[in-house]
């Protein structure tokens, strides 16, 4: 596999969803590096001042216990160094209120979580084509 051309931070408390995304990215031959934060507090720590993660894209679960996706997105947008970071909300919720709230807080996009592996593979290929193979857009 080529060295990563872009990196994702996946913020999700569901280990199965994380693993399915990793499998799908491998199967499509993705060149992206993936790191994981399993809760919102860890994501904020890693992305905040002095944090150790500077990804090209964040895939952010919206519904997490403790620190929610909304709180993580708000923290990203309030940090001048991270304000332009692309954040795709990646959620099992398709509630219009959640989608509106995510966009109001500055989400780059809102992706429903796939229901099966074939949908994960389509998502992985789209992510790879858009964010990895072409290189991450300027943030």
Residue 116 sits in a domain whose CATH number is: 3.40.50.2300
CA dihedral of residues 12, 15, 19, 20 (deg, nearest 10):
-80
Whether 121 shows a pLDDT value over 90: the answer reads yes
Whether 57 shows a pLDDT value over 80: the answer reads yes
Average pLDDT rounded to a whole number, residues 9-32: 93
Domains of the chain: total: 1
pLDDT at residue 49, as a whole number: 73
Distance, CA of 103 to CA of 80 (rounded, Å): 18
Instruction: Output the CA–CA distances (angstroms, integers) from residue 55 to 33, 47, 58, 110, 115, in the order listed.
Output: 9, 9, 7, 18, 26
> What does the mean pLDDT of the chain come to?
88
Domain-embedded: residue 126: yes
**What kind and span of H or E run contains 112?**
strand 109-112
**What's the pLDDT tens digit per position in 69-114?**
999 999 999 988 888 899 999 999 889 999 999 999 999 999 999 9
Domain-embedded: residue 138: no
Categorize the per-residue pLDDT at 40 as very low, low, confident or very high, splitting at 50, 70 and 90. Answer: very high
pLDDT at residue 41, as a whole number: 95
pLDDT at residue 131, as a whole number: 82
Domain-embedded: residue 1: no
Domain-embedded: residue 36: yes
Domain-embedded: residue 44: yes
Domain limits at 64? 7-133
Domain-embedded: residue 101: yes
pLDDT at residue 107, as a whole number: 97
Nearest partner of 81 among 115, 102, 39, 53, judged by Cα: 53
């Amino acid at each position: 596999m080529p060295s990563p051309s872009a990196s994702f931070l996946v913020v999700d408390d569901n280990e199965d969803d994380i693993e399915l995304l990793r499998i799908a990215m491998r199967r499509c031959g993705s060149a992206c590096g993936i790191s994981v934060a399993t809760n919102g507090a860890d994501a904020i720590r890693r992305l905040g001042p002095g944090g150790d993660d500077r990804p090209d894209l964040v895939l952010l679960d919206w519904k997490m216990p403790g620190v929610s996706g909304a709180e993580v997105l708000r923290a990203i947008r309030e940090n001048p160094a991270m304000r332009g970071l692309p954040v795709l909300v990646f959620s099992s919720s398709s509630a219009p209120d959640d989608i509106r709230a995510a966009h109001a807080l500055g989400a780059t996009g809102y992706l429903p979580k796939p229901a099966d592996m074939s949908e994960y593979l389509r998502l992985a290929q789209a992510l790879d084509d858009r964010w990895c193979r072409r290189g991450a857009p300027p943030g």
